[in-house]
Structure 1
């Protein structure tokens, strides 16, 4: 996990519509950047829907929510449409950003060691500096927790 107080690594990734989105596009706003493992899995769906429900409150506070996983833009589009997600999902199929943000780790899955995304959320300030970092977050609690942090 990246340390608080450092500049957040810049990136440009395709969103669920295939359009390029950069972290720099959000200068002047707080950014809740959350990494999750897979569209349409129980925990990830709960987390995404929680951010979706609270999204109006995030925008009232001048913040945006960006979700990143290794799923394709097409997968993100279906996921966002199915659950009416009002925020941006970014596709990192090459794992470039996932690795830059230090969330690609060895995990224990049903007794087997596998590599995967550890559910992590960063709060990035208006100037692109990491303000808060939370690793191994609980999917259901993370959206409300992050709203409270802003």
Structure 2
């Protein structure tokens, strides 16, 4: 008697039967010297075997920066600014529209150096103080010089 599998093909008794559910199959993977079980479902999340990843692996990080994920990013964002940064930041803040864009990027950006964020906050406070001063005294100056110009025009 010839048995058939789900696809209608005869089953050869000499060939070992394959497991239908691959997710139940486990394989050992060496990870940092520790063996761990990994199911096929977890492998789907990590990508295919041999697939190159764009992410930096922990063993590829430079020197003492053996930190994972956001901790590495936070460490990079705490580095001090160079001399040229302090030289060019005031020049950037003198440009009319560019300064506002950079200040808002530095203040509200997610991955911004902490020193740039503090410089941006200080610049934003200065911009708010200047704007309030111009609004408050600008009206007074406009009324003062507005009457003065009318007086000169009648002379």
Q: TM-score, normalised by structure 1?
A: 0.20
**Structure with greater strand share of residues:** 1
Between 1 and 2, higher relative CO (CA 8 Å, sep ≥ 6) is seen in 1
**Structure with greater helix share of residues:** 2
Q: TM-score, normalised by structure 2?
A: 0.19
Of structures 1 and 2, the larger Rg is shown by 2
